[in-house]
A and B are shown apart, each in its own frame.
Chain A
Amino acid sequence: MNHWIIAPVILPALLAPVIGFVMRRDIVLARTASLFGSVAVLAIAIGLFIVAGGETQVYYLGNWPAPFGIVLVLDRLSALLVLVAALLALIVLVHAVATGWDNRGRHFHALFQFQMMGIVGAFLTGDIFNLFVFFEILLIASYGLMIHSGGRERMRAGLQYVVINLAGSTLFLFALGVLYATTGTLNIADLAVRLQEIPADEAALVRVAAMLLMIVFALKAALFPVQFWLPGTYANAPAPVAALFAIMTKVGAYAILRVHTLVFGPGIEATEGLAGDWLFPGAIVTIAIGAFGVLGARRLMPLIAFSVVGSMGTLMVAVSAFSPVGTTAALYYLVHSTFAAAALFLLADLVTRARGADALATRPATVQNGLFAALFFAAAIGMAGMPPLSGFLGKLLVLDALRDPATITWAWGAVLIGSLLTIVGFARAGSTLFWKSTAVGADAAATGDTGQAHAPTRGTEVAPTMAALGVLAVITVLAGPLTDYLDGTTGQLFNREGYVTSVLGTGSEGEE
């Protein structure tokens, strides 16, 4: 048994209370410990990513055999997402430390580590009740991060966010109750086995459970009709936290991929075609909402939040095909959209601070207008899906995967028109913020009114944004090897027998 599998969950879990209780009065110590933790988790994640290239590996907690004990499962999919989460966390943490966001309220680093524990755990677990527990851990930490540093609008948005997610958690428990009552198990591999045996005419309750779980995961993934919480939450959260939340919507997408492929997926008679039929129209509407939101936003943060909604729609359109090609495209787009959204949120933080407000209105140009404009341009074409960055390749893969004649009109139409509207929205925002502002600045300088001067942004503050954009560049250059790896990932995900044998066929594996 490879004990490193549980390390990225244990390390933040042990570090967070130490930071919270021992280092709460010493911000330097807390920063050091938190950065150390994030670097260590990233190192472990890289190690796991390399190890996971081969067989699916299973960690039996307390060495209890599955399905009686809880298992953690490391396959290519979970390893990839743990790596993405760890890398994103380090980038966001450096930004939060460099800009001093972590010092504007209390317990930022402790909550941050708990959040990492929940996210990584949700990716690794092989037990669906355990998935619920990790969801709750990441949520309770996100409640604290969401209202970090307070403020009227932020507290109210935070309250909304807490209420909607608590309702979602209750729904999750109802779904698990139904699932347990019909199958008698909550281990994902065991569920996959049991559901194969349920005939289609006795599957009413299982179908209810599948749809309830779908709603819960769609709520996390911000999919229509439960996407309404996202713009308010992300737009009012502290910008580094919003950047970290870019991975949280992906936790919902991951859960749909995992559960509705492995447990309720293709070839299961009881729930055949159920998930895709509902996911597809929901995703199409989500793209439309995202695109119109981007066009209509009057502030920078909601603009980016709506572009995240749109990107989740594109991602879920690819997932809704539940085909290996579609899933490969979805995974590539998932990695891309996580870092694109993070780069935009981090940049929005710098721009907002330099300008004093994030309203999309012309104001005197800031000191480093050119730098911000270039970064915004790069991040926006990444998010909108224009060449040369990875968004273009991701959307190309998504379009290529959706060639089913029955759905091609809607899918291609939504993705292409959605992209066009997003480009228009970003172009308008960019020209208002950075281009027209230079004209205003010139006028103001002529009359001697230079507006409010702000200290130039330091290199360490811009570095995380550049790092996020750098990741986009890297996955563009390495698109070939990455899609090869994702092909293998998808093959593993759709190989139900292989997963079940790895988890349940214990043999002497647990004796090491």
Chain B
Amino acid sequence: MEIVVASSVGALTAAGVYLILRMRAFASILGLALLTYAVNVFLFASGRLAINLPPILQPYGDASYTDPLPQALVLTAIVISFGMTAVLVMVALGAYLESDDDRLDMDGTDQGLDHDGEGKAP
């Protein structure tokens, strides 16, 4: 069980970092999505791995339970990362439509810029 979770977190992170380093908008979006999956699984594991146990204390008897806090954290993280991915897609789309180029690195940032932020064509 541990080896499966650990290797999946590792594989997702490695793939995510690789995709971000491609420095293309679409690849980075996928890479960041994979990274958030990796971190969500990782957060689950931070409360110790337990299978088929309820996330609440049992008042009747000393039955074991799984830590409920990481689940709450993961829920928050999922909501935030979902919203962030949506924002990222919109910004990436805007940048692509404006410049006809989906590279992340910027060239010519030192070019003259007029007051409205419209770069002069190099």
Contact = CB atoms under 8 A, between A and B. Distances in A.
B10 to A, nearest CB: 12
A24 interface: no
A158 B91 contact: yes
Contacts of B92: 159
Contacts of A301: 113
B6 to A, nearest CB: 13
Range of interface residues on A (Cβ < 8 Å) = 35 or more
Interface stretch (A260-268, A278-286, A339-347, A353-361): A353-361
Interface in A162-207: 162-163, 166-167, 169-170, 173-174, 176-178, 180-181, 186
B113 A236 contact: yes
Given A159-B92, A232-B106, A236-B109, A133 B114 contact: no
Given A163-B28, A163-B32, A358 B95 contact: no
A162 B83 contact: no
Given A136-B80, A167-B20, A180-B46, A162 B109 contact: no
B32 A170 contact: yes
Contacts of B25: 159
B39 A174 contact: yes
A154 B110 CA distance: 13
Contacts of A180: 43, 46-47, 69-70, 73
A129 B101 CA distance: 37
Given A153-B119, A173-B77, A140 B32 contact: no
A159 B77 contact: no
A163 B20 contact: yes
Contacts of A144: 87
B119 A162 contact: no
A302 interface: yes
Contacts of B55: none
Contacts of A158: 91, 94-95
Interface string B96-122: 001101001110011111111111000
A107 B25 CA distance: 25
A177 B117 contact: no
Given A158-B91, A180-B46, A232-B106, A299 B112 contact: yes
A157 B69 CA distance: 37
A235 interface: yes
A143 B94 CA distance: 13
A358 B116 CA distance: 11
B109 A151 contact: no
A141 to B, nearest CB: 10
A153 B118 CA distance: 6
A71 B100 CA distance: 47
Nearest to A297: B110
B35 A163 contact: no
A374 B50 CA distance: 67
Interface in A127-152: 129, 133, 136, 140, 143-144, 147, 149-152
A162 to B, nearest CB: 5
B76 interface: yes
User: Which of the listed residues B20, B45, B105, B109 has the most CB atoms from chain A within 10 Å of its own CB?
Assistant: B109
A240 interface: no
A462 B13 CA distance: 49
A118 interface: no
B70 to A, nearest CB: 7
Interface in B43-64: 43, 45-48
Given A133-B80, A156-B106, A167-B35, A151 B42 contact: no
Nearest to B39: A173
Contact of B115 (A136, A150, A166, A353): A353
B84 interface: yes
B88 interface: yes
Interface in B12-38: 16, 20, 25, 28, 32, 35-36, 38
Contacts of A238: 117
A143 B46 contact: no
Given A232-B109, A356-B115, A143 B91 contact: yes
Given A156-B99, A302-B110, A357-B113, A177 B91 contact: no
A352 interface: yes
Given A153-B109, A154-B117, A178-B46, A140 B98 contact: no
A356 B47 CA distance: 57
Contacts of B81: 169
B87 A140 contact: yes
A248 B59 CA distance: 47
User: Which of the listed residues A162, A169, A178, A358 has the most CB atoms from chain B within 10 Å of its own CB?
Assistant: A162
A395 to B, nearest CB: 28
A178 B73 CA distance: 13
Nearest to B114: A357
B43 A173 contact: yes
A121 B118 CA distance: 34
A166 B84 contact: yes
A495 interface: no
B35 A236 contact: no
25 contacts: A136-B80, A140-B87, A143-B91, A152-B117, A156-B95, A158-B91, A158-B95, A159-B95, A160-B104, A160-B106, A162-B88, A163-B32, A163-B88, A163-B104, A166-B88, A169-B80, A169-B84, A170-B32, A170-B38, A174-B42, A181-B45, A181-B47, A186-B69, A231-B109, A356-B115
